[in-house]
Structure 1
């Protein structure tokens, strides 16, 4: 059972690199920490369950206390969530958000300039 959790954590680590673009960090725990707020709260909690199980699996007495059903559920949830993400769609949305924020700043700046010009009777 010990290689089971580590093997699945390696697969999840590859998915984090592939789908979220998290290349920093060593192993699943490091990549999960670097992913941070890009993952929803429930996914971070599930990731913490897996990291704890990975730490416990090396200890002979603690390895008996691992809740394998909970770990399997956490792995399944994370795999489903990360499998549904699309890297190109994420990049496209990031670019569109940047363009929208730039357009908003330009509109506010033009509005302020026009407001000041009207206030000073220049127009």
Structure 2
């Protein structure tokens, strides 16, 4: 595998990260860093290896150190996992979670207020 093939695979993953998580960054490593815990640990680790392999592949002598099977596996697994991510569902989940938390706070504060008013004999 040539450095250009590794670069092409990294570019595909770079684009998929941008589509799935709406991330910005100038390189794959920047987008992986910004994705952080949104990615599974094994995928984050493999993508970090791919970023390091890109740098190694630029040097002809160091390119021999790159594990091509791992690059292929990372590429396949990353694209498969990122294809299942639905940005709309993530936004809806965030909205519902926020609404649930606000409702819980209103319920607790309202219950506390009613309790205080009852202790003071105002109700």
- Global fold match (TM > 0.5): yes
How far did residue 2 of structure 1 move? 0.9
Residue 17 of structure 1 aligns with which residue? 18
Distance (Å, rounded) in 2 between the aligned partners of 1:21 and 1:51: 20
- What value does the CA root-mean-square deviation take over the aligned residues? 1.1
Alignment of 1:1-123 (within 5 A): 1-23=2-24, 25-123=25-123
How far did residue 9 of structure 1 move? 0.7
Distance (Å, rounded) in 1 between the aligned partners of 2:26 and 2:47: 15
**Secondary structure of residue in 1 paired with 2:49:** helix
Distance (Å, rounded) in 1 between the aligned partners of 2:68 and 2:116: 66
Distance (Å, rounded) in 2 between the aligned partners of 1:92 and 1:62: 46
Distance (Å, rounded) in 2 between the aligned partners of 1:100 and 1:31: 30
**4+ aligned runs moved over 4 Å, structure 1:** none
Number of equivalenced pairs: 122
How far did residue 120 of structure 1 move? 2.1
Normalization by structure 2: what TM-score?
0.92
